């Protein structure tokens, strides 16, 4: 920990020089949430937020390693900022998931020696100390420890939105899907204590937040490891119970969660969703593949039939439910027949939203060692075929929205037209609409959908 005197010294230096920070975040919402905590720590140290990289004296890259393209983008970015460093005082820090891979740390040290600080997913909270070393002792810092770090509570946080907030409920993953690097870089599952989560949500509600998203690699196994190890001595010891407790907090009007795993989608969670109106009617249910053979080789622990049966059960028990999903095409050994099974599930389920990924080989995972990798060309062709099917479904689904009414939380001004407001339907579709005289950001308004623009709708606020 930094001594008070050191913090004061650094803060004075930062403020007297009017230094600013800029954070570039790659990857998922968990990383976004980490970046909000990084921003909180930096602002506490005296940095102000810069609008862009050129104006900043402290650049943070919060990395992702789930797919190869995020790595390539990172290296491009660090290469670009080298020249900025020649022109002014500039500290460069690279952190997050990719830095948990030893080879990546070596690559940064060798090819980008001007990077000042490297931190991992479990050392983010040391950033103020790391900055002190760079500023006071002119040292380079490599602060990465192995996975399974403890949970740090009460870090300061600077949130990106004033109405909608992410709340991480658990860290890590125990599932070891054979394509996925996450369990290797984020460590084993660890759940935050319910009282800490509820405290955070209460605090958000008191500060005007209306919408929260509960985050974790596998949210519906909340407290599972702790339960199995007999470490739970409080009442809220499952995801379903956490949902009820969060929903009781006054002021919070909408609750989302990502990502659940189909194999852990227990009946108590389905019941909780059906009973709690505040929970979004769109649930993310990652499919990954529609082929039972591929699913087995992915170690997903469900078959095509089990997935479809779960969908049927959820549809039956939760009125107006819609689903979104993740699908990977081109997993090693995926045949045309396997891929047809994926298309078949997409035709049957009518997903509201599909996040499509081309399989990306991740060193260290089981699937990376397979010799039957699918040729790039075939992967791309399958991706295009899936995309075509998905887009035709989007068109079909969107038409059903015209003329329907939705209660929408006003999130802010539209990025493309500052005269318009924007929000999302319960099913996560963006809606852009004209303001009415007395409405404000954070209000919930009734909006009628009037125009379909494929990836967003136009609407009108009802009187």
Choose which of 57, 218, 280, 425 interacts with ligand SF4 (CB under 6 A). Answer: 218
Q: Does 216 bind ligand SF4 (CB under 6 A)?
A: no
Provide the 10 A C-beta neighbour count for residue 370: 14
DSSP character at residue 288: B
Q: Name residues whose C-beta falls within 8 Å of residue 276's C-beta, 6 or more positions apart in sequence.
A: 243, 244, 247, 255
Q: Does 401 bind ligand 5AD (CB under 6 A)?
A: no
Phi-psi region of 177 (alpha: psi -120 to 50; beta: other; left: phi over 0): beta
Q: Does 33 bind ligand 5AD (CB under 6 A)?
A: no
Answer with the entry of ligand SF4, ligand 5AD, none that 57 interacts with (C-beta below 5 to 8 A by kind). none
The three-state secondary structure class of 177 is: coil
Peptide bond into 218 cis (omega under 30): no
Choose which of 359, 383, 401, 457 interacts with ligand 5AD (CB under 6 A). Answer: 359
Contact positions with ligand SF4 (CB under 6 A) in 122-181: 173, 175-177, 180
Contact 461, 434 (CB under 8 A): yes
Answer with the entry of ligand 5AD, ligand SF4, none that 328 interacts with (C-beta below 5 to 8 A by kind). ligand 5AD
Choose which of 286, 332, 423, 459 interacts with ligand 5AD (CB under 6 A). Answer: 286
Distance (Å, whole) CA 345 – CA 305: 10
Contact 107, 130 (CB under 8 A): no
Contact 116, 140 (CB under 8 A): yes
- Least distance in Å: CB of 276 to ligand 5AD? 25
Answer with the entry of ligand SF4, ligand 5AD, none that 360 interacts with (C-beta below 5 to 8 A by kind). ligand 5AD
Q: Does 351 bind ligand 5AD (CB under 6 A)?
A: no
The three-state secondary structure class of 69 is: helix
- Least distance in Å: CB of 170 to ligand SF4? 11
Contact 447, 408 (CB under 8 A): yes
Q: Does 328 bind ligand 5AD (CB under 6 A)?
A: yes
Contact positions with ligand 5AD (CB under 6 A) in 170-209: 179-180
Sites of contact with ligand SF4 (CB under 6 A)? 173, 175-177, 180, 182-183, 217-218, 261
């Amino acid at each position: 920990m930094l001594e008070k005197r050191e913090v004061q010294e650094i803060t004075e230096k930062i403020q007297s020089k009017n230094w600013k920070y800029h954070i570039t975040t790659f990857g998922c919402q968990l990383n976004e949430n980490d970046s909000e905590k990084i921003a909180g720590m930096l602002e506490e140290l005296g940095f102000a937020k810069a609008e862009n990289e050129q104006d900043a004296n402290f650049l943070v890259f919060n990395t992702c390693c789930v797919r190869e393209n995020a790595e390539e983008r990172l290296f491009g970015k660090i290469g670009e900022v080298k020249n900025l460093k020649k022109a002014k005082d500039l500290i460069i820090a690279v952190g997050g998931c990719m830095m948990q891979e030893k080879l990546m740390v070596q690559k940064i040290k060798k090819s980008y020696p001007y990077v000042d600080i490297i931190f991992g997913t479990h050392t983010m909270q040391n950033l103020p100390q790391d900055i002190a070393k760079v500023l006071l002792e002119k040292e380079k810092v490599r602060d990465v420890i192995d996975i399974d770090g403890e949970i740090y509570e009460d870090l300061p946080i600077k949130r990106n939105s004033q109405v909608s907030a992410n709340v991480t409920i658990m860290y890590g993953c125990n599932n070891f899907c054979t394509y996925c690097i996450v369990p290797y870089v984020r460590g084993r599952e660890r759940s935050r204590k319910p009282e800490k989560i509820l405290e955070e949500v209460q605090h958000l509600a008191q500060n005007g937040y209306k919408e929260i998203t509960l985050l974790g690699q596998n949210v519906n196994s909340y407290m599972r490891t702790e339960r199995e190890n007999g470490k739970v001595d409080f009442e809220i010891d499952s995801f379903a119970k956490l949902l009820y407790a969060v929903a009781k907090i006054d002021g919070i009007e909408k609750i989302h969660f990502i990502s659940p795993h189909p194999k852990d989608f227990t009946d108590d969670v389905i019941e909780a969703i059906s009973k709690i109106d505040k929970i979004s009617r769109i649930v993310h249910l990652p499919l990954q593949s529609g082929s039972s053979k591929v699913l087995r080789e992915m170690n997903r622990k469900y078959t095509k039939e089990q997935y479809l049966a779960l969908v049927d059960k959820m549809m039956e028990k939760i009125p107006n439910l819609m689903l979104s999903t993740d699908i990977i095409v081109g997993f090693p050994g995926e045949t045309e027949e396997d891929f047809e099974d994926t298309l078949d599930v997409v035709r049957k389920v009518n997903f509201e939203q599909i996040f499509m990924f081309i399989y990306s080989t991740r060193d260290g995972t089981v699937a990376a060692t397979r010799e039957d990798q699918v040729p790039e060309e075939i992967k791309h062709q399958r991706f295009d075929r899936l995309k075509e099917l998905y887009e035709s479904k989007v068109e079909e689904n969107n038409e059903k929205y015209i003329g329907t009414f939705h209660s929408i939380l006003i999130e802010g001004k539209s990025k493309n037209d500052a005269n318009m407001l924007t929000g999302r339907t319960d099913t996560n579709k963006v809606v852009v609409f004209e303001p009415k005289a007395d409405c404000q950001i954070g209000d919930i308004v009734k909006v009628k959908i009037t125009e379909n623009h494929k990836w967003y709708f136009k609407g009108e606020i009802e009187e």
